[in-house]
Amino acid sequence: MASLSSQPYKGTRDFYPADKRVQNYIFNVWREVAERFGYEEYGAPLLEPIDIYAAKSGQEIVNEQTYQFTDRGGRNVAIRPEMTPSISRMVAGRRQELGYPARLYSIAQFMRYERPQHGREREFWQLNLDMFGVEGPQADAEMIIISDAIMRSFGADNKMFTIRINNRKLINYMMADYLGLDVIQSELMIKLFDKKGKISHEQFRDQAADIFGPTQQATGLSRIAALLSASSMAELPPEIRDSEPVREVRELFTILHDNGVTSAKFDISLMRGFDYYTGMVFEVFDNHPENNRSMFGGGRYDGLVGLFGVEPLPTVGMAPGATTTENFLRAHKLLPEFESSTDVYMIVLGEGSLKGAQKLAKELRAEGVKVAIDITNRKLDKQIKTAVKIKVPYMLFIGEKELSEELYRLKDVKSENEQTLGIERIVTTVADYRRRSDDDLDL
């Protein structure tokens, strides 16, 4: 019989303790920022009926990317590929009971069957943050302000990232009124714009020409060129510049400016792929030359709650991913150094000292110190090697002499400084160290 592979399923990753520390750091920053803005945490099932994705997420997600199966009751279900339909279903279920605006967030796990690549995996974690019940640019702006706050809470500045903003109403106006496309052509052109950064200029031009057809090609391509050459709203063609959707975008940028958001930029080519967006859309881009890509985004989706048989609700949301966030932090050298969540590794000097070490560990744990005891009766060097490998901040040496005198050798692993201390001083020394470490992570 062949041995089993030690590799994880394609497109997923194992999280060893060092990896989990990084993930938890990202989750903690997300949670702190979300709650700072008054958002409250919720949870939803990992499985949902496939229908709720078929209704609005888009056929690519349903037909190509969902992990779906028929359960034993004959129901066609999917492992969630995103959270937006789930939270919309939940809000619809308590439509009359919730207080509005309803500010909700979750940090959850998802799966999509797609080609794994840098920053994109089949299994992934996201912060999902949504506001229900408020129309207009104030709610749109809050979502972008929070996105900016998240990036800055990780230590990022304007040189490191850009928030690109567009509006689906403007996109629809641009497709129908300015480019003269019908519904099918508009849908195809939106999808082409959405992948513009992933194909060559020549491929984009040729595919756009095919969408226009022979009679519209010349005019259509020149109008697209005029659109793409505009680096600001003021440079847009007059037919678009004076439209109502552009006035909405201008109002949004005024609010962002008043709130000190300087990372935002208008981008007429930004589309966002999901079919359910109805207004403002945005994406946060990493400006690092080795990781120059969209990290996360969001937008307004006012129609989704109404699909569940209740009155529609205006809604805006966004969803940063853990993998793209980690790649950003690594590229810009913003990731802190992490140590073990264990405070003290207790090294037992001789088998006869184990009982006393267990008693001491119990006392330290009662005082909030996280203690691991080496129960192997190995030689001193092997116990020390384990403590170093798991990156604990302190080693505590326990032998018969230490137990009889009730004074114990506490060694700082990083500085190699060693002190002989009683139990109370051990507790305060570890507490002071943890406080300093937490303060460093908050900087």
Q: Which pLDDT score is estimated for 204? A: 94
pLDDT band at 195 (very low <50, low <70, confident <90, very high): confident
Q: What are the distances in angstroms from CA 185 to CA 175, 189, 207, 216, 240?
A: 8, 6, 11, 11, 19
What pTM did the predictor assign? 0.91
Please, which pLDDT band fits residue 194 given cuts at 50, 70 and 90? Answer: confident
Identify which has the larger pLDDT, 74 or 292.
Answer: 74
CA nearest 390: which of 342, 336, 438? 342
Q: Residue 25's closest CA among 439, 389, 391, 338?
A: 338
**pLDDT computed for residue 230 by the predictor:** 86
Average pLDDT over residues 82-110: 96
Taking residue 350's Cβ as centre, other Cβ atoms within 10 Å add up to 12
Identify the bridge partners of residue 286 per DSSP, sorted by sequence position: 161
Give mean pLDDT, residues 91-115.
Answer: 96
Query: What confidence tens digit (pLDDT) does each residue in 305-318 have?
Result: 999 999 999 999 99
What's the mean pLDDT when you consider all of the chain? Answer: 93
**DSSP per-residue letters across 331-379:** HTT-PPP---S--EEEEESSGGGHHHHHHHHHHHHHTT--EEE--S---
Q: CB neighbours of 245 closer than 8 A, spacing ≥ 6?
A: 167, 169, 170, 173
Mean pLDDT for the stretch of residues 398-413: 96
Q: CATH top-level class for 344-442?
A: alpha beta
φ, ψ at 403 (rounded to 5°): -65, -40
Cα–Cα dist 120/108, whole Å: 16
Helix 201-212 and helix 183-194: axis angle, to 10°?
Answer: 180
pLDDT score of 281 more than 80: yes
Percent of the chain whose pLDDT exceeds 90: 80
Share of the chain above pLDDT 70, in %: 97
- The whole-angstrom separation of Cα 19 and Cα 17 is 5
- How many other CB atoms are there within 10 angstroms of residue 333's CB atom? 7
**Mean pLDDT to the nearest integer, 134-142:** 96
- What pLDDT band is residue 184 in, cutting at 50, 70 and 90? very high
pLDDT at 396 over 90: yes
Quote the CA–CA distance of 392 and 378 in Å, as a whole number.
Answer: 18
pLDDT level of residue 438 (50, 70, 90 thresholds): confident
Q: Which of 48-52, 111-115, 325-329 has the highest mean pLDDT?
A: 325-329
In single-letter form, the type of residue at position 8 comes to: P
Q: Please report, for the chain, the start and end positions of each structural domain, with discontinuous segments joined by +.
A: 17-331, 344-442
Would strands 47-49 and 76-79 be described as parallel, antiparallel, or unpaired?
antiparallel
Hey, what CATH topology would domain 17-331 get?
BirA Bifunctional Protein; domain 2 (3.30.930)
* Distance (Å, whole) CA 55 – CA 50: 9
121-148 mean pLDDT: 97
pLDDT at 118: 83
pLDDT at 292: 85
Quickly state the pLDDT bin for 443 (edges 50, 70, 90).
low
34-63 per-position pLDDT tens digit: 999 999 999 999 999 998 888 765 566 777
**Region 237-263 average pLDDT:** 93
